[in-house]
Structure 1
Amino acid sequence: MHIRALEENDLIHIHELNNKLNVMAYWFEEPYESLSELKSLYQKHIYDETERRFVIIKDGQFAGIIELVEIDYIHRNCEIQVIVKEEFQGEGLAQEAMEKGINYAFQILNLHKVFLYVDTENEGAVHIY
């Protein structure tokens, strides 16, 4: 498993995840986003220094996404988010991706704090965090 920067051609996979109610509920966001809207947001945020988005790759396949958002360089903190596609869940990818995302935040961005919000009913996520 490795992570790499999100590219525009990955948006079709993000679109699939963003349109699943059970997935977006864990991110406390509304599902059902159009691909056109997603592409527009990608273009709008491509140079945004307060975000870093990575895709999780397993055996050459898109397996999920890990994001550092709300990056605050003054207070040196950010929020982290992760989604692993259902067919890749249970393989430890979320935990490994979290470690890589946190290491990136601390070692590359030189932040001091990484936080997240989690639905306490999402037992798998609570276990990882």
Structure 2
Amino acid sequence: MTAALRTLERADLPFVHGLFNDPEVVRYWFVEPTYSLAAMEDRYSQRIHDESERRFVIDDAGRRCGIVELVNIDVRHRHCEFQIIVAPDAQGNGYAGIATRSVLRYAFAILNMHKVYLLVDNANAAAIHVYEKAGFRSEGVLREEYFADGAYQDVTRMAIFQRDFLAD
């Protein structure tokens, strides 16, 4: 496997559009699967120079396998939020772990973040396993934080510090 991260480009938007319109994919992102490609293109154009986020495609020899993002980048407090989607047809191949470690290296070594955090649905055991393996630790449970699948969902906030990631 030769998976690497590369910057999200306009040409990747149809792929991202497919992910965000798959109910099984976005269920763990707590959003409705109703994004139009035109709206996604408009949003891309509006945010292309936004320094508070970085978006990458997980690429394996030209095959798009998912996306990984650092959002809400706060340069004063040196923290940001991590988000990832591995395409359903690429799951189970180790892409999540590779992409998570790669983007953490970027966050800590390039952006000099102090802390990277995430929110994960407590029912998403596979994701929690990947995050723990990468060094994320639970900071607490946010009870009934998101409404999805007809019910409120509990989520866990997890985080990793620069010092801990770089010590490994």
Q: TM-score, normalised by structure 1?
A: 0.98
Amino acid at match of 1:74: R
The size of the alignment, in residue pairs, is 129
Match of residue 34 from structure 2? 32
Which residue among 101, 108, 111 is the counterpart of 2:110? 108
The one-letter code matched in structure 2 to 1:53 is R
Equivalent residues of 2:53, 2:69 under 8 A apart: yes
Task: Tell me by how many angstroms 1:59 deviates.
Answer: 2.7
Partner of 2:100: 98
SS at match of 1:31: coil
- Partner Cα separation in structure 2 for residue 69 and residue 105 of structure 1: 11
| Alpha-carbon offset, residue 56 of structure 1 | 0.3
User: Residue in 1 aligned with 2:81?
Assistant: 79
More strand by share: 2
1:122 Cα offset (Å): 0.9
Instruction: Give the Cα separation in 2 of the matches to 1:124 and 1:59.
Output: 25
The corresponding residue for 1:43 is: 45
Bigger RCO (CA 8 Å, 6+ sep): 1
CA RMSD across the alignment: 0.7
User: 1:60: how far off?
Assistant: 1.5
Partner of 1:127: 129
Cα deviation for residue 31 of structure 1 reads 1.4
Equivalent pair of 2:78/2:113 in contact (CA under 8 Å): yes
Distance in 2, Cα, partners of 1:54 & 1:125: 18
Q: 1:29: how far off?
A: 1.6
Gapped regions of structure 1 (runs ≥ 5)? none
How far residue 23 of structure 1 moved from its aligned partner, in angstroms, is: 1.0
Alignment match of 1:12 (pick from 14, 17, 21): 14
Distance 1:107 1:29 in 2: 31
Name which one, 1 or 2, has greater alpha-carbon Rg. 2
Q: Report the Cα offset of residue 25 of structure 1.
A: 1.4
Amino acid at match of 2:35: E
Superposed structure 1 runs of 4+ greater than 6 Å apart: none
Q: Is the 8 A contact 2:25 2:88 kept in 1?
A: no
Aligned partner letter, 1:83: I
Q: Which runs of 5+ in 2 are unaligned?
A: 132-168
CA distance in 2, matches of 1:78, 1:27: 17
